[in-house]
Structure 1
Amino acid sequence: MSGFRIRPATGADARVLTDMLVEAANWDAARSRARLTVLEDPAVLRYIAGWRRPGDLGCVAEDANGVAVGACWARLFPANAPGAGFVAVGVPELTLGVYPVWRARGAGRALLQELLGMAAEAGATRVSLSVERGNFAHRLYVSEGFTTARQRETADTMVRTLR
């Protein structure tokens, strides 16, 4: 870990998570969408709306000046309103976003590992996510033990069992 520290996300971090949700949605610079366009999509907005509700957990990476550079969080969705990475009731769905300048510097991996530990400590036995196959984060998830549970046209739903 170099140049950043990880801390738990609080209820006051809704803006940070919103920023990182936009970064996660805009992982492909060639298909980048304006912030408002991303956040107008109810399927995307659901990942941060009402943060921090019961069952939500997350962490934030900050640089040496205390400025957020990335975040990873998870929340539960009901079977009648599943997220893109939904696999089952009671399995938190993870979101990870890091500013481009901080990518490939260990922040994403550190955030992911911290979140997995938090989820296990909270009693989760699995976590899930949805990732487009072209996204460089796909390799990160595989390297951290996620396996593909379901393939869609351009994205995979992945699951990681927690010990």
Structure 2
Amino acid sequence: MNAFRIRPATGEDARVLADMLVEAANWDPARARSRVTVLEDPAVRHYVAGWQRPGDFGCVAEDARGVAVGACWARLFPANAPGYGFVAAGVPELTLGVYPQWRAQGAGRALLRELAREAAARGHARLSLSVQRANFAQRLYISEGYVTVASSETADTMVRTVR
């Protein structure tokens, strides 16, 4: 396994989170979209726009040289401007992105676990997310205790209790 370390995401990590949002959106290489196309989509852009707002939190995985290889972060969305994985106001919705060469090496799992610890430390009881059913990451979410609470034709909204 390649060595990586996890650190808190800061206000200076907006670019890193945007990069990881593009990775998350492009989980299926056969349907990959350009960075510009992904970040121009308002429904996707709001996961990183204005980072780091009050209430935003996250973590970044870095390799031994300090280069970001993945990130996981959470935001609160209001009911009138929900994210794809919205379940309720006050429940942070997470996003996880890891560069392909770092997938299946523990970085995503470590990021998810650190985000859950931080969510609990901040007093949140749950985390939510949305995942396409065909996305291999869904197996990771299930193994980390996320359960499906709503479904559409192709995606599931999942929630995990963190305290």
Write out aligned runs for 1:65-144 (5 A): 65-144=65-144
- Offset, 1:128: 0.2
Match status 1:43 vs 2:43: yes
**TM-score, normalised with respect to structure 1:** 0.99
For residues 117-147 of structure 1, give each alpha carbon's deviation from its aligned partner in whole angstroms, at most 9, with x where no partner exists: 0000000000000000010110000000000
Q: CA deviation at 1:2?
A: 4.2
Alignment partners' CA distance in 2, 1:139 and 1:85:
17
The residue aligned with 1:13 is: 13
Indicate the SS of the match to 1:83.
Answer: coil
| Aligned partner of residue 111 in structure 1, secondary structure | helix
Q: 1:21 Cα shift? A: 0.2
Q: Distance in 1 between matches of 2:119 and 2:85?
A: 16
CA apart distance, 1:162: 1.3
- Please give the alpha-carbon distance, in whole angstroms, between the structure 1 residues aligned to 2:157 and 2:61: 25
Q: Secondary structure at the match of 1:71?
A: strand
DSSP-derived class of the 2:140 partner: helix
Secondary structure of 1:65's aligned partner? coil
User: Could you tell me how far apart the structure 2 residues matched to 1:88 and 1:160 are?
Assistant: 13
2:82 counterpart letter in structure 1: P
How many residue pairs end up in the alignment?
163
Which whole-Å CA distance do the structure 1 matches of 2:101 and 2:2 have between them? 13
What do you get for the CA RMSD once the two structures are aligned?
0.7
Gaps of at least 5 residues in structure 2 are none
Could you tell me the TM-score, scaled by structure 2's length? 0.99
Supply the distance in 2 between the matched residues of 1:64 and 1:2 (Cα, whole angstroms).
9
Q: CA deviation at 1:16?
A: 0.2
Deviations 1:40-91 (A, max 9, x none): 1000000000000000000000000000000000000001111000000100
Identity %: 77
> Any unmatched runs of 5+ in structure 1?
none
After TM superposition, what 4+ stretches of structure 1 lie above 3 angstroms from structure 2? none
The one-letter code matched in structure 2 to 1:8 is: P
